[in-house]
């Protein structure tokens, strides 16, 4: 559908910048708008969420939640889709899930456990108002506790994991212009969101990211220059970066998401999981389970019998069947 889309969110929002990257790749006419300056009460009532981003479509729909938004836009722009069809689309969404529901916690840690970054981000969010910024900063430690980065061991391990990701990105971008091949996909969108909203912005993680010159150049605009051509690496081989992320998922994301699923079923408010060799307490959250179930449903409802078997066999080989095999 032609017309202008309006992206309501924030410059320092992980998921706003993820969706912004997608809108650029789709080649859509869109405008960024700050949620807090545009009748946020009405936006929340119409979209059904208090979170950002919210996308206003040309027909005046207000939609939240980046992954379903991108599936909608894929249906409108199939030649530029961010989630391929078939098994390759499942692989793409599985890797996107890791960044959506696991690496996002590392961004929370980097922002709120480092005083310099916390001051920078809170002042920017508060429009320079120091009193409001102080109130914003009180939220940070609560978010870190809820997402399991309270202990020094978890903080150091999360930082090391992210550094490994940057190392693999740097290597992959020597070989292909995007992380899963010669064209962008949802994985590129969410990774660009993390860089543009967090680790290229917040002073402390920026020192780490700055060491990876290709990653910085790619995230600062190089990635946006897509002409609509190219192919992703095939299923199930993917790229070295894709295979690396799947290995990381099996040892970190998977024990977390399975324990969260059990807590949601039991109606528990919190749960424990063994992560990086330490017993960690997490707040039980409905969205990671909803997001995991989206992938399970997509496997069950959008693939042929043969394709479904290929995906289930692949999930077993990469040790992620417990998360997504139903």
Q: What is the mean pLDDT of the chain?
A: 96
Q: 67 and 294 in contact (C-beta within 8 Å)?
A: yes
pLDDT in tens, 126-145: 999 999 999 999 999 999 99
The span from the CA of 85 to the CA of 75, in Å, is: 11
Tokens of 155: 């903080």
Question: What is d(CA 189, CA 58) in angstroms, rounded to the nearest whole number?
Answer: 22
Domains of the chain: 5-80 (3.40.30.10), 86-324 (no CATH)
* 43 pLDDT tier (thresholds 50, 70, 90): confident
Q: Are strands 5-9 and 30-34 parallel, antiparallel or unpaired?
A: parallel
Q: Which of 34-38, 111-115, 302-306 has the lowest average pLDDT?
A: 34-38
Name the phi and psi angles at 6, rounded to 5. -120, 125
- What are the residues facing 5 on neighbouring strands? 30
Instruction: Give me the pLDDT at residue 276, please.
Output: 96
Whether pLDDT at 265 is above 80: yes
The pLDDT of residue 1 is 65
């Amino acid at each position: 559908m032609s017309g202008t889309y309006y992206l309501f969110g924030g410059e320092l929002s992980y998921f706003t910048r993820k969706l912004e990257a997608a809108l650029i790749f789709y080649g859509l006419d869109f405008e960024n708008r700050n949620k807090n300056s545009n009748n946020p009460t009405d936006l929340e009532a119409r979209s059904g969420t208090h979170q950002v981003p919210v996308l206003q479509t040309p027909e005046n729909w207000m939609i939240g939640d980046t992954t379903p938004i991108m599936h909608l836009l894929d249906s409108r722009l199939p030649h530029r889709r961010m989630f391929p069809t078939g098994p390759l689309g499942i692989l793409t969404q599985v890797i996107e899930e890791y960044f959506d529901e696991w690496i996002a916690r590392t961004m929370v840690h980097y922002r709120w456990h480092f005083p310099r970054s916390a001051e920078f981000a809170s002042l920017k969010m508060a429009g320079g108002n120091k009193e409001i910024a102080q109130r914003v900063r009180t939220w940070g430690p609560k978010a870190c506790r809820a997402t399991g980065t309270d202990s020094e061991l978890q903080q150091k391990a999360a930082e090391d994991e992210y550094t490994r990701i940057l190392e693999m990105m740097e290597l992959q971008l020597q070989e292909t212009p995007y992380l899963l091949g010669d064209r962008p996909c949802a994985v590129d969108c969410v990774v660009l969101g993390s860089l543009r909203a967090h680790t290229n912005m917040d002073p402390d993680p920026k020192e780490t990211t700055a060491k990876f010159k290709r990653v910085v150049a790619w995230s600062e605009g190089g990635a946006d220059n897509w002409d609509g051509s190219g192919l992703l690496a095939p299923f199930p081989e993917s790229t070295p970066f894709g295979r690396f992320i799947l290995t990381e998922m099996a040892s970190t994301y998977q024990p977390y998401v399975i324990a969260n699923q059990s807590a949601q079923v039991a109606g528990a408010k919190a749960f424990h999981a063994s992560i990086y060799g330490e017993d960690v307490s997490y707040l039980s959250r409905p969205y990671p389970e909803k997001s995991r179930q989206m992938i399970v449903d997509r496997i069950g409802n959008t693939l042929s019998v043969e394709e479904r078997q290929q995906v289930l066999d692949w999930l077993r080989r990469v040790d992620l069947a417990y998360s997504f095999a139903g």
